[in-house]
Amino acid sequence: MLNPDIYAQRRCRLQAKMLHGIAILPNAPEQRRNGDADFPYRFDSSFHYLCGFGEPESVLVLIAGDAPLSILFCREKDSEREIWHGYRSGPDAAQEKFGFDAAYPIARLDEKLAELMGNQSTLFYPLGADAAWDQRILKIRGEVAAKARSGIRAPNELRDTRALLAEMRLFKDLHELNIMRRAAAISTSAHRRAMQFTRAGQFEYQVEAELLHEFCRHGARDPAYPSIVAGGGNACVLHYVDNNARLRDGDLLLIDAGCELEGYASDITRTYPVNGKFNTAQKDVYEIVLAAQTAAISAAMPGNSWDAPHSAALRVLAQGFIDLKLCHGTLDGVLESESYKRYYMHRTGHWLGMDVHDVGEYKTDEQWRPLQPGMVMTVEPGCYIRPADDVPLALWNIGIRIEDDVVILEGGNEVLTDAAPKTIAKIEELMRRE
């Protein structure tokens, strides 16, 4: 059930951070796929965070200061178009349902903006994000400036709400955490289903179909990002999305997939044997990545720096690579020379929220920022071993990543995605075939 107060409170908080001025926040455009077909519509995350309103062709305008206003521009009702394309709220119903101070047809945007911009000192607008919008907004500002002789001033300071919104969105409120818990639960059941379904001879996209089926049947219509379903050496391609190879007995399968629910992402990776049993070499590498992930999750604690989980994972991985004879020298030497990067070339996580790589600074004043309650991050170490003469043959084409979603809480953390099995024993048990 939509609770408009949540969104109204967020708009108030943003207005308080702006202090004064006018902010223009356009929703995302519809995107043409080909011919007459569009991609499924996805709203702009920050717009939705502030409005809860999901229709395209909409713009939020906020006025901050002594007389704050929050104004929506949206499509008018249109019985003919609604027959073809579906329901539109129209400004009147949208104002009432979503709690805006005013709402106008989107066709009146330019005219009303020229009026609203007058005598505002600061314009908050994300210049550079979209060339067509830039032109339109600067033209309107120019028209306001041309009225100087009538005593109307145009904003002479340009700022941006993106940084303010990023800081707000970085800290998830209870409403958001509860959606993210549900998104995570759906994605864990999809990973469990994939493990139970997988057989040698299937195509990667057939396993992907199981994931999508599970997302959809629990109410999550879309994945939060293109699913990676990568058998064998395909797992060593970090952004593999072809998902069109046949799965082979004896190979591992890496799945990086998570649903989006009510605008919030989940992001899980599990790696397991196509035939349900890890071989010795796979076990050796898997245990190292799992130990690195366990160490990183233990370091994802309030007060620790953003980098602490990454450093904890790196130490375990680098030592593991030495033990496997993939890297040579001392632990400190391998960390210092970064020779581990041949097998582990990405960082150990990112913020997670409405966007899978969510907004929010990782450093403040040049320092990694401390982890604080309400932040949500992924913890996703991995190891990717491509064939090479100096690499033991048994390790060729092993690509492993283990990824969970972690909320920082007062005094600890909560792993949202624990229900997807990740120890060798639990995976083999779930995949056991009579």
Catalytic residue ranges? 36, 239, 256, 267, 346, 350, 357, 380, 384, 401, 403
The residue among 251 and 404 lying less far from Mn ion, judged by its C-beta, is: 404
- Residue among 59 and 377 whose Cβ is closer to Mn ion: 377
Provide φ and ψ at 216, rounded to 5°: -65, -40
Sketch the per residue contact string, 314 through 353, with ligand GLY: x for CB under 6 A, - otherwise: ------------------------------------x---
Residue 380 interacts with ligand GLY (CB under 6 A): yes or no: yes
What x-and-dash track marks residues 403-432 binding ligand GLY by CB under 6 A? x-----------------------------
Count CA atoms closer than 13 A to 144's CA, side-chain side: 24
Positions 345 through 404 that interact with Mn ion (CB under 5 A)? 378, 403
| Cβ at position 346, least distance to ligand GLY in Å | 8
Closest CA to 401 of 420, 416, 414: 420
Tell the smallest beta-carbon distance from residue 408 to Mn ion (Å).
16
- Residue 109 near residue 91 (C-beta atoms within 8 A): no
Residue closer to ligand GLY, measured from CB, 252 or 268: 268
Nearer to ligand GLY, 160 or 418 (CB): 418
Name the binder of 225 from ligand GLY, Mn ion, none, CB < 5-8 A by kind: ligand GLY
The distance of closest approach from Cβ of residue 300 to ligand GLY in the complex, given in angstroms and rounded to an integer, is 16
Show the binding pattern over residues 262-281: x = contacts Mn ion (CB under 5 A), - = does not: -----x--------------
Single out the residue of 197, 205, 225, 362 in contact with ligand GLY (rule: CB under 6 A).
225
Q: In terms of CB distance, is 55 or 403 closer to ligand GLY?
A: 403
Q: Is 229 in the site for ligand GLY (CB under 6 A)?
A: no
**The one segment of 78-86, 201-209, 259-267, 328-336 that binds Mn ion by CB under 5 A:** 259-267
Would you say 50 or 377 has its CB closer to ligand GLY? 377
What letter represents residue 151's amino acid?
G
* Residue 358 is a binding residue for ligand GLY (CB under 6 A): no
Candidate list 356, 383, 408, 420; residue touching ligand GLY; CB under 6 A: 356
Is 55 a residue that touches ligand GLY (CB under 6 A)? no
Q: How far, CA to CA in Å, does 263 sit from each of 38, 129, 179, 404?
A: 19, 21, 9, 19
When asked if residue 204 is in the footprint of Mn ion (CB under 5 A), the reply is: no
- If one asks whether residue 256 binds ligand GLY (CB under 6 A), the answer comes out as yes
Q: Nearer to ligand GLY by C-beta: 210 or 256?
A: 256
* 44 binds ligand GLY, rule: CB under 6 A: no
| Interacting residues with ligand GLY (CB under 6 A) | 225, 256, 267, 350, 356, 380, 403
| Interacting residues with Mn ion (CB under 5 A) | 256, 267, 378, 403
